Amino acid sequence: MPNPRPLHSLHAILLAFPLAFFPAALLFDIVYLNSAQLQWTNFASWLISFAVLFGGPVLLWAAIDALRGRRPRAIAYLVLVAAAWIAGLINAFQHSKDGWSSVGTMGLILSVISTLLILAAAWVAHSNREIAR
């Protein structure tokens, strides 16, 4: 089976932003829960917002690729990016609450979910193997 098409260079650059911002926000959520310094949740909120902002074009590009190619890998990538983006958006709303109630259990769970989903999406996007039908 031939190697799948790699990501376009600009698409890969745009994917790098949520790939960096979601795990960093998770790290800051963990630091906030261990220190109770309010600024850490502000940092996490900014990172999540930027991840969602840059994730929008990534999601649009993934949708166009999935509709054009209709390959299982492109569809899996689209589903993972869409799920990460939705989890990140919900997490951004969660983090917009008051500082003391923004993270808690729900904010941390959403940070973990969005981080794992974007890591899985990047793995699918950059893997050399096609997903079996």
Q: Tell me the per-residue pLDDT of 41-96, one tens digit each, with 9 for 90 and over.
A: 889 899 999 999 999 999 999 999 889 877 888 899 999 999 999 999 999 998 88
Q: Is residue 50 part of a domain?
A: yes
Within 10 angstroms of residue 65's Cβ, the number of other Cβ atoms is: 21
Q: Is residue 3 part of a domain?
A: no
Query: How wide is the angle at C-alpha 102 spanned by C-alphas 36 and 108, nearest 5°?
Result: 80
Query: How wide is the angle at C-alpha 96 spanned by C-alphas 114 and 56, nearest 5°?
Result: 45
Give the number of domains in the chain: 1
Q: Is residue 1 part of a domain?
A: no
Q: Is residue 133 part of a domain?
A: no
Domain holding 62, by residue range, is 10-126
Give the global pTM. 0.86
Q: Is residue 131 part of a domain?
A: no
Q: CA–CA separation, 68 vs 61, rounded Å?
A: 11
User: Which tokens in the block code for residue 124?
Assistant: 């699918």
Q: Which residue has the higher pLDDT, 93 or 3?
A: 93
